[in-house]
Structures are given as structure tokens and as C-alpha cells.
Amino acid sequence: MSVVKSPLRDEDLKIVGDALQGALVDLVDLGLVAKQVHWNVVGPRFRSVHLQLDDVVATARQYADTVAERASALGVSPDGRADTVAKSSGIDPAHDGWIKDDDAVRTLATALGVLIVRMRERIDATEHPDPVSQDLFIGLTADLEKHRWMFQAENA
């Protein structure tokens, strides 16, 4: 049941809805992974990495909300429940325990790299069915690429 009538054709809505749902799950998980690493990072670069992780969490949370609201506006019910995220995220989970700053940086650079590939696929998929959602993915991907660049520069 949809309480919101979508302006998109059914076949376009399926493509866009899948892209938005996939992005939502990935962003929720990115926020969780980044926060887990944030709480457990140790090492000589603790403070800079710790603060940088907070920036990633803020980006992930902001865009997760924007993506979910875009889905809702199109008549697609967003699903960010923990079990949905656990089943369908493209990001590897953070390991438990303390995380050396170098490993923390690598973990986030890798997670961001995976998400960037997935977001670029969503950019391509939404180009024709919904340029509005595509624009959202473009802005999001630019921010993820900036975060990844900053983490890669940490371990250069």
C-alpha cells in the first residue's frame, strides 16, 4: 500500500525506489561503522581521526535522512531497520575492540570506496527515470569522495 502517489511511472519507480533503498541502507551502515571505529580508535593520530570520523557520521546521517525522505516523497516506504541494514549493506562490518589509527583510516577508506562505486551505479541507474534522485546521488557521491580523499591522505 502506498499513501503517496508517485509522479514516476511504475517501471521507473521500481528502479529509483531500489536505488534509494540501497543508498539508505548503505548510509545507515556507514554511520554505524564510522561511529564504531570512532569509539575505538587509538594511536598517535587519535584526535584527528576521531574528529574526521564524526564528520563522516554527520554526512551519513544527513544523507540517510534526505534519501529516506526522497523515497517517501515518491511513494516508496524507506526501510532503515537494523535487520534490513544487516542483510543488505555493501559495507564490511567494523571489527570489535580497539582499532589502531592506521587501521581505522584504512577501514573507512575501504568502506567509502565501496559506497562510492555503489553510488555511481545509482547515478547511472537514475539518470533517465528520475534526474532529481540522480542529482541527490551526485551530491552525495561528491561528499563521500571528499571524505575518502581525506582518509587516503592520512595514510599516504
Nearest to 60 by CA among 83, 38, 41: 38
**Tens-digit pLDDT profile for residues 8-52:** 999 999 999 999 999 999 999 999 999 999 999 999 999 999 999
pLDDT at residue 74 is higher than 70: yes
Nearest to 144 by CA among 26, 20, 17: 26
Residue at 42: amino acid letter = V
Per the document, the length of the chain is 156
Average pLDDT of the segment spanning 118-139: 98
pLDDT at 1: 55
Phi, psi at residue 77, to the nearest 5°?
A: -75, 115
pLDDT at 46: 95
